[in-house]
Every structure is written in structure tokens, then in C-alpha cells.
Structure 1
Amino acid sequence: MDKLYWLDQIKLQDRAKVGDKAFYLSRIMQRGYPVVPGFVVGAEVLQQFLENLNSSESLVADLPHSSLYLDVNNWRQLQQVAGRLRQEIVTATVPLSWVGKILSAAREWDSDYLIFRPTVMVPSATKAGNISGLLESVFCPCNPDAIASGLKRTWSQLFRAKSLLYWQRAGIELKRVNFAVLIQPVRNAIASGLFHANTSGWEISATWGLGVAIANGEVLPDVYYIHPETGQLIEQQLGSKILAYRIENSANKDSLQPVTPSVLTLDNHCLVAYLLEESKQKQYALQAEYLQQVIMLGNQLVSELGSEFDIEWTISQVSPVPKLYLTQVSAPQSAIPNVQIIKGIGAARGRVTANAYVIANSQLKPEQLPQGVILVAKAITPDWLPILQKVIGIITEKGGLTSHAAILARELGIPAVVSATDVTALIQPGERLLVDGDRGEVSRVREDITLERIVAKSGSAENIDFDDNHAISNPWQSPPLRSSGIPSQPLIGTQLLLNLSQSSLIEQVKSLPVDGVGLLRSELMMLTVLEGQHPNSWLADGRQTELLELWTEEIIQFACGFAPRTVLYRSLDWRSHELPSATQEHQSTSQAVLGDRGIFSYLLNPAIFELELAALANVQKAGYSNVNLMLPFVRSVEEFSLCQQKVVQAGLTQLPQFQLWIMAEVPSVLFLLPEYVKAGVAGISIGSNDLTQLLLGVDREQEQLARRFNELQPAVMSAIAQLIEMSKDAGIPCTICGQAPVLYPEIIDRLVQWGITAISVEPEAVERTYHAIARAEHRLILEAARRQLRGG
């Protein structure tokens, strides 16, 4: 037995292992409803137990894999087979390690007694029908012997004659029945009962004590009829309640008159039935305050389960105040098993609805994807970029706002949600989804729900365009904000630049109101060109000239598309494990967060960097003077100087307009910037993503930490302010190209106030960033004017 499944931690992929009863309870418990705590001994444990049965019976030896087809019309044979099977189970030995694990977990509740509830999942719920009356719960004391016995007695119910008859009549092979055991603490109850809801009305039934009396049909419970819309009591009928059930203990052992104990009591030590006093037989089991609690709980569950459902409840005698608990939930399958809204982090704005294409194993990159699907994957690496051109939405389990999936989605204008826990297990291939990149939500779309209703439910139709494929929103295809034809738009002094990598987007974005490209991500730009191969493979195959030509052509497209505006080309910045996957021999075996980042990799493998510089030189020779070079992840002045020598050797500095910049993302730049400027750095671009990661020690790609990746943290803000001030003192421009201004627009006020030269963002953020800069500059002008007036 590898693990126990705690109710408050059960996930959708655990459903077959824990059975429907436990799964439904876990769904409700995890939404904040009062459910008795518990854990599940999974269906795989029974499988292991049966496989290890040491029996000479051939029927038993093959039991885990047997379909056990019987002539169920031969009642004598059915009884004999069922008896033999159950005898083998109840006389077998449960491993001590299993009992110890269950006992250790159960002691967390400080309860002397436990209840073992069968919880089953069968291949087809509709095929199986209702099995609620087929299997009963078993009560036992919380001690090793009783736990072992209780477990076996619960398991043995699977092989009762009526159970075997049922499985065969339903056409269900026994080996396909997933039989688990839900274990919970059990305490005495004031009252217990059922709540049945449907569209015509609500019906509550109740009896004194534990609910066993109703399950056994030994009492006629009280019944309350409730109006479903008002929650008002319409009518009540007193039942016939002669006996009740309780857990035996020293406090009540002699105070009540016992009757014949239940067949599910183990060794008569636990569950006992007792005769109710005549006065109690004439009273309703639910006092007014408890009745209102049950009604209120039912009213809350309508929003979760719909208008038709059944629950079992109990009012436990816990100190200091009795408490209402749910013990079982039954509802139409669509109400509980599938979480209707999956939460994540909104990584790229917009909404889209389409069918899901699920890739559970992110190590296996698909060769191609269907057109117009929503890609659901654990994670997306940069080499997936060529195949992302066909998808219209992205959902990932891992990664944060600065992960590659998020960056690629924002650049391509694809709505995306990242860090959506277990989404590859929760979503089925082909399922219809609505991805809301603004809210960070993924919703299932029923075929009978129109898109208009979805939008209405989400609260806004802003940025939504309907088409035949139900694709919604292209968040950055908006008219230019700054042009001579629109004089009403405010002019801004702070430069607004683009983060870009895909030449296919140039025509769409070059008319946006930007001053150029502030970050041309070369590693993403080259992925399509490289055809999934590492550049070293091209060189090894003698294709250096071909690669140089393709590299040059790619850069020229950006130079031409944005001329005369500046393009800041950032040289290759792959981490070791992000390199194209087709040539693993060229990759570092390290899966470290940093890997051989930035210019350090150029010193290890200068041939690729020299080829990259040759491509930039070719761009200059072609007559383009608007491309400058930015070096990534610079750690030391010595590293920079070695790269600078190669830049000079390539002839790039012969063009007077050419500038050599660095990314300011390694914290050492806070101490070394004056030295960098002396060495020849013409400008810096603050990479707030990596700067935050390194200052705070937070891996932005790690799911658990992604939500704590906060660029507003005082240490990060102080570092950015310091870099801007040092740049002004050195007389060089300072831009910022990380996600901080996009994720937290409120810091644009501070950036402008500190004197940032430019802000570079993805295309989808251009419009709102432009307006945020305009507002910030306007405030500064007003404040300066007010100070002047006060001074006058």
C-alpha cells in the first residue's frame, strides 16, 4: 500500500482509485462544505491483497483477473462460490504495514471508533445504475485487530451472492470494479437523515441517532417538505422511530436499553441499537435550529449541484456545539465529477473557445497540431514555437507569467492560462473549452450553451469577436494610437518599444504607435529557421553558409519592417535544457534553472556567436543601420570585454550609428554599471523577469513559486530605480523589457518619474502601456506646474 488518499487532497485523476462516493465528497469538501474528514484505502490495495492470497483454491488464485462468470440462476452454486470467496478473504492476513499506516492516520482524529464506507467506481455509471443499497458501511474500534478485520469485512461485500448477481446482471466484469474503502471517524449523533432535492420540491427525512436505522429500514423517519425557492417548511409528518443507533462507550453503556446489535457491528464492541424512550418517539428528531441548518446547507448546494441531488447528513455530538456534517452526496454526473472552472494564472489576454488538444507528456513534442485547437500541456519549451502557429489558445500546468508559454502566447496574440494545476488530467481530448486569459480561468463549454451566454456569464463582451469557429478576441489588433492622422492622441516623451521574435507578425504590428523594437529575441526568432536542430548540427553538416544566409534574411526582415526605427537585437540566450531537441548530444546534461546562460555560452562555443555577428555585419552591408546589438545575461566586465572584441573583429563598430548594449538582469550590474560604461556599453535594458528571479531566489518556471514571483517587491523596485539613476549619471539610455510594466501598470508612474528612457512590451500590451505612459507624464507635468505656482 503506497499511499492513502485524504479527502481534502483527492484529484480528478484519483477518481478510479478512490471510487465515486469518496470522490464526490472530496469535491464538495474542497469547496468548503462541512464533510467529515477521512482518507481512502485505494482500489489498488484490494487488488494487491487478492493477488497475495495464499490459497489452494483455483478460483481464488485467479481472483484479481477473473471475470467470475457464474450461472447466477443456480442459486445454490452462487451461494457456495460467494461463501468460499468471502471465507478466503476474512481469514487471510492483512499486512501489518498496511494496518500500521491506517492506524497512524486514524489517530490524527482522536476518535475511538471508525466507519469503513465502501466506495466504488464501475466502468459505466449508467450501465451500473444505483448501487447505493448493495454495500453497507462497517463500524469498528480504532485498534489494529479491529482495523484489519473491518477492512476484510468491507472488501468481502464485493463477493456477496447479491453482489455477484448484480455485477453479472449489469454486464460488468468483476475485475473492472474499482472497490476502495473510505475511512472516517465516527461519533454519536443527535440526529441523522437524508435530503432529497428536485425541481418540484425538497424532502428531508430524519431519525434519532446515527443514520443506520434508516439505511436498515428499521424506522419510519420524520419527513419535512420544503419549498425549494423560499426554503419555507410546507408540511411535516412524524415518523415511527422505536429504536436508534449509537456508538458504545463507557459513558452511555448502562443508560440505555440495548436491542439486537447490527450485523455490521464487529464483535459487538462498537455499534449498538437501543430503544427510544416513549417521549422521544413522539418528538421530531430535528429541532427547529437544526432543521434550518439542513435547509440552508441544501440551498447552498443547489449552486454547486443543480436542482436535483441527494445528500446524507448527520448532526454530530461534538464539543462544545453539535455540528452538521455531510456524509454522502449523490447528483447527476455532470454536477460533480468535472470541475466546471479550472483556475490558473492569466498569462495572455483575450478569450477563445475551441476543442482541447491534450498532450500529457510534454517530453514528446508533437510533429504538428490540428488547426484551431486549444493546446493543453504540462509545459511548453521554446522549440514548440513552430507548431504553435496553428493553435488559438494555450493552457499549461507549469510556468508563470514569465514562462516561455506565456511569452510566446503574448507575442502571438493567443489567449493563455498557465499554472493550471493538473489540467492535463482534468481536461479530456476534444473537450470544448473557453480560455479566459484575462481572468486566468478555463471553463467547459456545453454544446447547448451559446457563446453569447458564456460571455454574458463572464460579465463582459469587451474585446470579443464572434466567428464561425467561435474563436474569440485578438487582443492587440487595434488601430494605431499615435499618428499624424489622429491629433487627439496625447504625445508621449518616453519611448514605447516592442518585444518581438516572429517575422510573420511584422506586417501586423509595424503600424502600432511604437518607436521600434526594444527586444528582438533571437533564440525564438531562429527556432523556425533551425528546423529543430542545434546550430552546431548545421556547422557539423557543412551548412554554415546556408545558415548564415537564413540568419541574415531573418534580421533584415525586422530591419526593413521598422526602418528607420531602431531594432535592439538580443543575441542568443538559450538555457541548456531549452536548446533545440533534435540534437541532444550538443546539450548540457544539466537541467538547472540557469544553465549556460548568455554570453558565457559564447565563450564556451564561440563559433555560433561569431556566425551571429557575421549575420549582423551582413545586415549592415545590405544598407541597414538601424540594428543594434544587446548582449544577454552579462555577469562580469571581463566577459563583456571578450565579447566586445569579437564584435569589433566582425566589423560592426565601423558603422558610426552602431551601439552595443547589455541586458541588466544579473544583480552584479548594480555594482558594476560604471565599469561597464567605461568598457564601452552604450545602453542597458532592464530584464525585470530575471532580475526579480535572481534577487528573490524565485524560480519563475516552478509552479509552486510562480505565484510568488512579484516584481513589485521593494528590493526589485529599489534595484530598478538604482539602475535608472546610474544610467542617467553615466549619460546612457535605460529601457525596461521585462513583464513588470505589463503585469503591474501602476509602476509605470514610478518608471517615468525615475526617468526611464523607454518601455518595451509585447504587441498586446501596446495600447494600455501607451495610455499609462501618457497619464504618468501628464501627472508629472501637472505636479511640476503646481510646484512652480506654489514657488511663485
Structure 2
Amino acid sequence: MPKFVYWFDQLDRSDGSRFGEKAALLADLKKSGISINEGFVLSPKAYFEFLESGHLREKINKLLGSVVKSDKTVKEESLRLIRDAINSQPLPRQVVEEIQKNVRKLATEKTNDLELTYSFGPEESVRTASKLTQSVVSNKKTLIDFLRKLWGNYLETGFLENDQLETLNLCGRGVAIIFNQSIQPESSGMVYTKDPSLTEKSRLLVAAKWGLVGPKQGEHQYFDNYEVDKINLEIIFKNIFSQQSQLVQIEGKLKNVPVAKSFASIQKLSDKNILELARIGKQLESRFGFPQEISWFISRDRIFVSDTRQFHLAADLQTQTQGRIGEGLKLLIKGSPAFPGIATGIPRIIKNQKDLSKLKNGDILITDAINKEFPRIKKPAAIVTNGSGSYSQASLISKKLGIPCVIDIENITDFFNNFHYAITVNGATGQIFSGGLSPSQKSSISYHVAQKRRSDNPGPSAQTATKIFVTIGERDLASELAGKEVDGIGMLKSEIIFSEIGIHPKKFISDKKQKVFIDKLASFISTFTAAFDPRPVIYKSSDLRSDEYRNLKWGEKYESFEPNPLLGTRGGSRYVINPEEFELELEAIKTVRNKFGHKNLWLMLPFVRTVSEMEKIRKIISSSGLHKSDTFKTILLANIPANVLLVEKYLQTGIDGVAVSLDDLITFTLGVDRTNSDITKKFNELDPAVVLSLEKVIRACSQKNLYSSVIGQAPSLYPELAEKLIEWGISSVSVSALSVERTKKIVSEAEKKFLSSKSHS
């Protein structure tokens, strides 16, 4: 029987392609211990089930076939017939009952209101569908009417906005619906983990106001602004905005209401909440590896995060490309930079929704005022608009699409009227030139930008004795990170690789297609080994939990349900119970090392519960033909206290060292559930029990001249911990890409301090 409803704790970061990026993000935030407004997702399976019942898909496709290149009257009549077909089609009983059952579970005494959003896949924007009461959903008839209307609107939107109806496949893409609790906030705002003013790169900005942040209220100058030192988590500066009105939700509608005089000019956040938001900002920047723009709200003194996205700053590149792009090109006009990048294309004037048919992929979108729906069907090469403000709709859309944007140009549509030649847009400087750039010119500019970045951020000139590794899993970052001053990859995350392959390993085994899986895995790993060669790349073998395996295609067939997957069959236990899966990974490693010639690949073994388990795993590795050598090391990933308490015994099994997964070790040592926001603050890297565990592991490895490492952000955040790690004799630390330069400076200083103290003693 198909399953239609998934709660956020049943999803993870890799589920964006199945349920939309918004649902996957909320699930990931929850698993990181960050509070979100609770909810669940109605799978696209429900939409497809609806289409299949009563041959609705066939009816719609038949009606669509009749309107290709037809006039407006025929299209409108066909649309009416499609609406009638949807409204007369019963919903599958199981879908309705499953929604109602989970809505009752979601409703609480605090709120009976729900907020619904829907998205059509990872490339689509998320749209607010409705705000409604739990009583509407509890009533079978009103729920059916609501879903029909929502799915009908989805079909109608695609029908009206697409001018190429002969290629339109309205029934081919699913729509995921998110059911959230609707919470009325006391205050809300954003956290920018990189100060938008760029006055201090080591500061982050918290912006706050009473009530809701509305769709046109993104400019942080209309908020209280609190600048926080990212390193020490200290409030540096406060700018309090006098707020006369606030946006609230009343009976499902947004309304502006006056702010009480006694609250208008006071600080919108307590110092405690400012620092907590700063801590969350640091956590998310570390998790995603890039500066973040985080949307948050507070209700009953509890902080909720509703969204986070990569934050780009136009000013980062403004001086780097200044002058270079204009070489040989005539400057036409200049506006304000809103999003960096360089693009060449034909300017296309779009004044309203009807003009969208003129826009072709790769055009430069020219408009006076952009509507958020404009770039949904076609992707322009750049956006140029009369709109203002670095947080304008144009800027937000360009960030999402990753294309250059220039704003603040008056009468822009008049300027480019009857202009039929290519132009080049420099989103970093706001300049627009006549003519186009050749690929070699673009490459030259990119090279000089990279050179300028290196000269602006040369990093520490002194090399550290302690290796500075990076933790990574995203294939598209391999080449970029290989160009950084890092000594290798301290942990290559297999969970991201398995998610990209997307199919349960046992399916390949069952179909006797093991080589297909091996080749896919080897190809993925070799992207990193080739980029970093000869620096070591330490591949962490699979540590997916059973629920994560179940999320893979065919996963439900091969995985039994476990009540607590965190402590279930995973890591080392799985290798011993299901050696045939582990052997696929070993064969992929052999392919990379022997066939591709990348001898810089090592192996890391996670979640090995006992010494006897490690001995059995070592035998499996040896039987596969992988043997200990100067270029092949086997490292234990210490996730649990048992690895620490018996570290000497583990080392006696013949492994080449131990890397400590700091997050996991803290979780299991302190018994902290990181998904429980009430106790997340007890998650402390400097807790005496954690520090003592680190010392025991590192000293044990150092005494035997074996490899030791710490995987986590703590060495980049706490210089005092870095000093202890150096004193104990650690071999390396592995941090996120964003933390490499800072970690290198901290470790360098710690090494100097250690050598100085030794010379004095």
C-alpha cells in the first residue's frame, strides 16, 4: 500500500528531488537541532494517484492536445473543461484519510491553524498555497475541495504561463504539499552570517522587527540591526529602529496594525536571543559551507528558523572585475550592482506577464518592475531592472537562479527599446556594455578574479606541521577546494554519494549489476582523488541508517523498520551482517586505486561498536585484496565512547589510526539529542568528558606513531582546544571549506605557542 504522508523527521537533505527543496531543508534543519514550525509533506505520489483515478490524466492530455497553437477562445474553453474534469473527479480515499489522520496529530492546543506551501521540484520556487484552519481539513468534503482547487491551480498556472504548449507536460511533474503549523510570531527577521555592509568580515548581522516580515520588507535598514562578533559571540553594535506598525495575520489575511507606543522604539530582541541567533547562524554557515541568509521568527520566547539560503554579496566582486570586463567594449549605462556575475545575451523587454512568450533562454531580461513569476518558465542570462534595493524581488530571484542582476536604472525599458544587439552585463559593478564577450575573455576575467581573491586573502604564509584537511561530499566543489591551501580531504562523506546514486545497493546485487554500482561509486570518488592528488582523500564507508536506506529507491523492499535507526544496523555492524554491500565499496576503492591510478585514497570505518567487529571487518578488507601499505591506510572513525575507552585494543587490530567524529562523540557521551531544541544548548565541545576523550585517543595514537584526527568545527572556534590538540600530538584536523583559512591561522599560532613553551621549559 503506497505511503503518501512523510513527516520532516522521516526526510533528510537528500530528499529535495522527491519532495522539493523546501521540505528537504526543513527536515535538515530539524535534524540539526534547530526548531522549525512542525509539519509533514504530502508526497507527489498523492497527486499522481489522483491523476490515475478515473483516467483523469488521459482526459487532461487529450484536452491539451486540442489547444496547441489554438486561439485564445479555444484555450479558455479547454481550460474550463480541465477544471470541470478535476472538480468532478473523486479523491482516492486513502489519500484523504492519511491527510486527516496526520493533521489531527499535527494540531495542538496552541494552534489549530495550518499553513500550506507547495513546490514542483528542486528547480522550482516554493509558493504559499493557503492558510486554513484544522477544521477545514478535518471535514472530508472541504479537504477534497481544497486539494482539487490547489492541484487545479497548479495545472492552470502551468497551462497559462507556458507558450510552448506542444512541449507542455502538466501531468508529468508532481507537486509536493507541505502542511505546517501556522504560528503567529512576536518578532521576526533575518540573520546574515556575512555582514552585508562588508565593513567587518568577522561580524554577522541580526535584523529584527515586531510581527511578520512581509513580502516587500526585506531591506534590513527597516529593522533593528545588531552586529555580532562571530568569533567571540559578542554584541558589537545595536541600531534600534522606531517601528510604528507591524504585519500580523488575522483570519488568514496579512494586515498592518499599530505597534504599542511603549514598544515602538525599544529593542526587538533580548541580548540572549540575539546571541542565540548568532550561534544558529554560525552553525548553519558551518553546515552548508557558505555564508547564509537565514529567516527566523520568535513565538513564546522560542526561536524558529523558516528558511536559509546561500548568501551572496555583490560588493565581494565589485572591485575585482572593475575595468576588466570593459576592455574592448563600449559602456552603455550603469546602475547599482545587486548580484555578481557576467552574462552576454540579447536584451528582451518584458513589461507584463503576457510578454513572457518573447523571453528565450539566455536572453537578458529587461523590465521596469519584476514579478516573482517572470523567470519561472525560462531562465534569463541576467536581470536588469528599474527596481531598487539590494533585497528587491529582482535581487532575490537572481540569487536563486545564480544569474547577474543590475538594478536602479530609470526608464530602462525605454533605453533598450528597439535594441537588437547583444549586450554584456556585469552584475558585480552594475555596468552594461554594448557587444558580447568571447569564452576566452570570460575565462580571462574569471582567472583575474581568482587571482585578486588570492592576493586579497593570502592566508598564513607559514605551513603548519598539523595537517589541515577539509570535510566534503559535494562533487561540484572538488576542483574549487583542491585549489585551496588544504592538505587533503579528512572525510569524504559517502552519504552524499549514495544519495546521488539514489538506488539501494541490494537492488544492484539482486539484478546482478554490481559492476554498475561499483563504476558509479568509483567515478564519484575519483572526482576527488584526481583533483587532490597526491594529497590524501579519506573515504568514509557507508554509515547510512536503515531509515536513510529506506529513502533510496527500492529501499522499502530491502530495509526492515527499526524503532531507533540511530542505534540500529549501521556502519560496522552492517558490514559484518551484509558483507556483500560493503564489498561493493571495497571494489570501488580498488578501481580508483588500481585502475585509475589514484593511490591517494584511504578508507575510514565508521560506527564500529566492538573490537571483535573491527577484527571481522579487517578480514573482509584483506580478503578483497586491499592491504596495508605506505599509500593505503585504514582509519577508525570514533563515533561512540566504546571507541575511546578501548582505543588501545582497537589499535592492536592493525588499523592505521583514529579520527574522532566530534559531533557524534558529544551526542553519545553527553546523551544529547541534537534534534531536541530544549537540550541542544548542552551540546558542548569543551565539556570535560569530551576533552578527556579527545586526549585519550590522540595520546594513544601519538605513542604508537599512528594517525589521529578530529573531524568537526571546534578547532576553528576554540583556540584553547587547538592548543591542547597540538600538545597531545594530533596529526590533523578536518573542518568545513569555509573554516579552512581560520583553522590554519589558529593551528599555526597554537604550534608557535607550543614550541615556545617547550623551548622555555
Q: Please give the TM-score of this superposition, normalised by the length of structure 2.
A: 0.45
User: TM-score, normalised on structure 1?
Assistant: 0.43
